[in-house]
Structure 1
Amino acid sequence: MRIALSQLTTGPDPEANLAAVREGAGRAAEAGARLVAFPEATMACFGTPLAPLAQPLDGPWATEVRRIAADAGVVVVAGMFTPASGGRVTNTLLATGPGVEAAYDKIHLYDAFGFTESRTVAAGSEVVTIEVDGVRVGLATCYDIRFPELFRAHADAGARLTVVPASWGAGPGKREQWELLVRARALDATLWVAAVGQADPAASGLPVPERTPVGIGHSTVAGPDGTVRARLDEAPGLLIAEVDPAEADAVRRQIPVLANRRL
């Protein structure tokens, strides 16, 4: 299955960001991709007040993403914010397109490196997978990548691929951690991991806010053996990759860590 990762820098205006989704979906379709993933916070970048712009899954922003996916004939996965109780929002992935309609609410909130996502965001609790052209695909978001249990849950649900939209915060060693974690999660669960990040704002010619996880780029596809198969640098770009679910099965026969678990 051919997939696409659309690495971009989103701004604070949800309507303006829809134009980037439309362009990325069109380019992915032209390249023959069946699924295109956009970063976490595609609806609006972090550093923006989230509660006033959050919309339900049947609101105008998600409805337009559905229209974009239908017009392009591809499954789109994109990060948005939906309303939650107590004035908070939920950090949600919308997955929509031919034969697919699902949403995943980020389970592990980024209360780390001096940032407290849980102040404004409510945590999800449900493991979510979708099916694209007969391939089971898990959904995870950014900080989730530090938690191998979620990726193994995807594998237990039949996934051969997990898609991870992110807005990875910059800092000493953070790029190295990003690559290490993408590769480790692929090897932990012996599945493909396709991790798409927000591009580095500086590489997009934009100012870089302080103490806000606005992205470093380096979107990466790792195979089920933990090797990097494709990646971008820090600048905006569209990454096209081929994912073979049969390879996940072959690696699981060779390295049966899922079958050998005792805990």
Structure 2
Amino acid sequence: MRIALAQINTAGNISENIEKVERYVTESVVGGADVVVFPEATMVAFGNDLGAAADTYIKEWRTHLSALAQDNNVWIIAGEFENTDNRVRNIAGVYSPEGMHEGYAKIHLYDAFGFSESETVEPGESPLVVQVGDRKVGFAICYDIRFPKLFAELSRAGAELIVVPTSWGSGPGKVEQWEVLGRARALDSNSYVVALGQADPSVSGVNAVEGAPTGVGHSYVSDPFGKVIAKLGEGEELQIIDLSFDKTEKAKESLPVLKNAKLGY
């Protein structure tokens, strides 16, 4: 599987965000990518009115991305928001080359480090595993990466790769935590982990809302043994990598943590 890691910054203008996604998809397809991964909140960045954006633009957004995936014969994974009765759901949108859409709603909301995501976002309830080509892919979003049982559940459901679109909040020690957590979750689940975050807006020059989790960059891919096999910097960047899934089988044989687990823990 050839995966494009599209570490970008988005802002409050959805049309401009769509144009940026289109540029990165086009470049990824030229590079032979089968899957293009974008961050959490790709549709609209945190700190903006998520409900208004979802109400006004979600149909246009999904129409554009469905057509983009279909026209380019590529899978696209990107963060988006959809309205519920009172709040929005934080979604990892999954767009297939057939133009079909599925979505994982973020289960663990970021009520931490002085930010209260639950004030505007309604939590999801169910994990999601999708057949992508001949591989099963699981999904988590940002703060989910701190909860090992979700990753174990995705692995038990057959996921060999877990994609984590993220808009990581900045602060002392946060980059180090981000780098450690995905590697640990790969070890927990015998899976590849693609930890793909928004770039650091102070580096990329994109205007960001102060106090909102708007990205630190440093996206990476961990193999099932916790080794980082691809790493990005702080600014906007595109990197294309190839994954060989024989490592997932080797990890399950040599380090069968899920098989050895007691009482499901």
TM range (shorter): over 0.9
1:197–1:217 contact (8 Å) kept in structure 2? yes
Moved over 6 A (4+): none
Q: In the alignment, which residue of structure 1 is the partner of 2:28?
A: 28
2:180 is aligned with what amino acid? Answer: L
Shift of 1:55: 4.3
Aligned to 1:236: 236
CA pair 26-145 structure 1, distance change in 2 beyond 3 A: same
- Cα deviation for residue 131 of structure 1 reads 1.3
Q: Secondary structure at the match of 1:122?
A: coil
* CA displacement, residues 48-106 of structure 1 (integer Å, 9 cap, x when unaligned): 011111149971111111111111211000001100112x1110111012255311100
Q: Deviations over 1:132-172 (max 9, x none)?
A: 11110001100000011111111111110000000000000
Q: 1: CA distance between counterparts of 2:242 and 2:190? A: 16
Q: Equivalents in 1 of 2:225, 2:72: separation in Å?
A: 32
Q: Does 1:162 align with 2:162?
A: yes
Listed as ranges, the matches of 1:185-224 within 5 Å are 185-224=185-224
Task: Give the Å deviation of 1:176.
Answer: 0.2
In the other structure, the counterpart of 2:95 is 96
Other-structure match for 2:179:
179
Give the 5 Å matches for 1:1-263. 1-55=1-55, 59-86=59-86, 88-99=87-98, 101-263=101-263
| Percent of residue pairs identical | 45
CA distance in 1, matches of 2:72, 2:64: 12
Q: Where does structure 2 lack aligned partners over 5 or more consecutive residues? A: none
Letter in 2 for 1:97: S
Distance 1:92 1:17 in 2: 16
Asked if structure 2 preserves the Cα contact closer than 8 Å seen for 1:55 and 1:61, the reply is: no
TM-score w.r.t. length of structure 2: 0.96
**3-state SS in 2 of match to 1:53:** helix
Paired residue secondary structure (2:53): coil
Q: TM-score, normalised by structure 1?
A: 0.96
User: For structure 1, which segment, 51-60 or 26-35, has the greater mean C-alpha deviation from structure 2 after superposition?
Assistant: 51-60
Q: Return the offset for 1:20.
A: 1.0
Alpha-carbon contact 1:167-1:214 (below 8 Å) kept: yes
For 2:262, what is the secondary structure of its paired residue? Answer: coil
Q: Deviation of residue 13 (structure 1)? A: 1.1
Q: Is the 8 A contact 2:200 2:214 kept in 1?
A: yes
Q: Give the RMSD, CA atoms, in angstroms.
A: 1.4
Is the alpha carbon distance of 1:27 and 1:55 closer, same or farther for their aligned partners in structure 2, counting shifts above 3 Å?
farther
Amino acid at match of 2:111: D
> Equivalents in 2 of 1:220, 1:238: separation in Å?
12
CA contact (8 A) 1:221 1:241 kept: no
In structure 2, do the counterparts of structure 1 residues 173 and 185 end up closer, same or farther at CA, with 3 Å as the change threshold?
same
* Cα contact 1:108–1:123 (8 A) shared by 2: yes
User: Does structure 1 conserve the Cα–Cα contact (< 8 Å) formed by 2:58 and 2:82?
Assistant: no
Kept after mapping to 2: 8 A contact 1:6/1:238: yes
Distance in 2 (CA, whole Å) between partners of 1:162 and 1:262 is 23
* Structure 1 Cα separation of the partners of residues 55 and 197 of structure 2: 22
